[in-house]
């Protein structure tokens, strides 16, 4: 336990010296444990266990396939629709499930927050980590399908690593901001499902980004997930990469979400125990 600062100053003024990431690294054990605990508890006493992590995306994929693959027939560039849809869906799910869980994390742990001090940022971050584990399970399925039905594996696959990292970063920032705001205004909890529904359609998950009219693209790519999902799919399946300008725009928004979200969280953090 010798890792802690030996002198602590407790003051009325808040001093935001950093984003709080150092404290997260110090307490990485706790962060990991929270994330694994959520996985464990979620599938405990269920018959299908971890398979449920696959069930939701597969049902959604089935719907998309029916509507966009069979009825609307979007152009997937020769990729089988299930692969095309799944590639978009799993990254989006990682983001949105992570954001949702992160946003509710403070509210769900209010007893803890009122009784024990630990870096509060651990809660939204561990939620993101949990969604990352779910993502890895789904990714395994995607790789199996890829080996069976997809194009040949290429080195461009490695691009998914930075893409997933940026997605997690954007999700952590956005989730932390929503979590902090939820403490102040319960209203925020009502808005989150709306964000999820709009985002699902405003991101190239069920359809390729190339279908978006050029005039709309600058606005479209303000959604950082638009560029990230398109790029993720391109890395996996060799579809068309989004334009570089869109990638930069998306990255900038992601960084902004991360830094802004964490600063907001740090600013409001001290009030949590009193308000919750």
Instruction: Please answer whether residues 265 and 180 qualify as being in contact, where contact means their C-beta atoms are separated by less than 8 angstroms.
Output: yes
Nearer to other proteins, 14 or 245 (CB): 14
**Cα-trace Rg, the chain:** 20
**Residue 18: closest CA among 255, 263, 269:** 263
Residues that bind other proteins (CB under 8 A): 1, 3-4, 6-12, 14, 27, 29-30, 33, 37, 40-41, 44-45, 111-118, 184-187, 270-271, 273-275
Nearer to other proteins, 115 or 215 (CB): 115
Q: How far is the CB of 124 from other proteins (least distance, A)?
A: 16
CA distance 106 to 173: 14
Nearer to other proteins, 43 or 143 (CB): 43
Q: How far is the CB of 224 from other proteins (least distance, A)?
A: 25
Q: How far is the CB of 39 from other proteins (least distance, A)?
A: 12
DSSP code at position 158: G
CA distance 268 to 174: 14
**Residue 233: closest CA among 110, 121, 139:** 139
CA distance 196 to 201: 9
Q: What are phi and psi of 122, to 5 degrees?
A: -60, -35
Nearer to other proteins, 30 or 263 (CB): 30
CA distance 263 to 128: 18
DSSP code at position 240: P
Q: What are the residues whose beta carbons fall under 8 Å from the beta carbon of 136, sequence distance 6 or more? A: none
Nearer to other proteins, 40 or 156 (CB): 40
Q: How far is the CB of 9 from other proteins (least distance, A)?
A: 6
Nearer to other proteins, 172 or 188 (CB): 188
Q: How far is the CB of 189 from other proteins (least distance, A)?
A: 11
Q: How far is the CB of 26 from other proteins (least distance, A)?
A: 9
């Amino acid at each position: 336990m010798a890792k802690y600062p030996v002198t602590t100053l407790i003051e009325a003024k808040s001093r935001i010296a950093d984003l709080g990431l150092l404290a997260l690294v110090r307490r990485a054990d706790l962060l990991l444990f929270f994330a694994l605990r959520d996985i464990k508890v979620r599938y405990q006493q269920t018959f299908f266990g971890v398979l449920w992590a696959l069930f939701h995306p597969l049902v959604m994929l089935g719907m998309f396939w029916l509507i966009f693959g069979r009825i609307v027939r979007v152009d997937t560039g020769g990729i089988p629709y299930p692969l095309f849809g799944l590639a978009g869906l799993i990254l989006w799910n990682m983001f949105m499930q992570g954001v949702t869980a992160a946003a509710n994390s403070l509210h769900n742990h209010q007893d803890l927050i009122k009784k024990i001090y630990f870096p509060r940022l651990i809660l939204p971050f561990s939620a993101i980590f949990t969604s990352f584990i779910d993502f890895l399970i789904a990714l395994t399925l995607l790789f199996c399908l890829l080996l069976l039905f997809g194009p040949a594996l290429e080195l461009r696959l490695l691009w998914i690593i930075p893409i997933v990292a940026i997605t997690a970063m954007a999700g952590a920032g956005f989730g932390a901001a929503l979590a902090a705001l939820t403490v102040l205004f319960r209203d925020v909890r009502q808005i989150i499902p709306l964000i999820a529904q709009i985002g699902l359609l405003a991101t190239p998950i069920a359809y390729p980004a190339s279908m978006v009219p050029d005039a709309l693209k600058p606005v479209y790519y303000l959604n950082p997930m638009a560029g990230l999902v398109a790029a993720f799919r391109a890395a996996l399946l060799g579809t068309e990469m989004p334009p570089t300008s869109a990638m930069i725009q998306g990255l900038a928004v992601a960084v902004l979400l991360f830094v802004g979200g964490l600063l907001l969280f740090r600013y409001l953090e001290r009030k949590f125990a009193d308000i919750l």
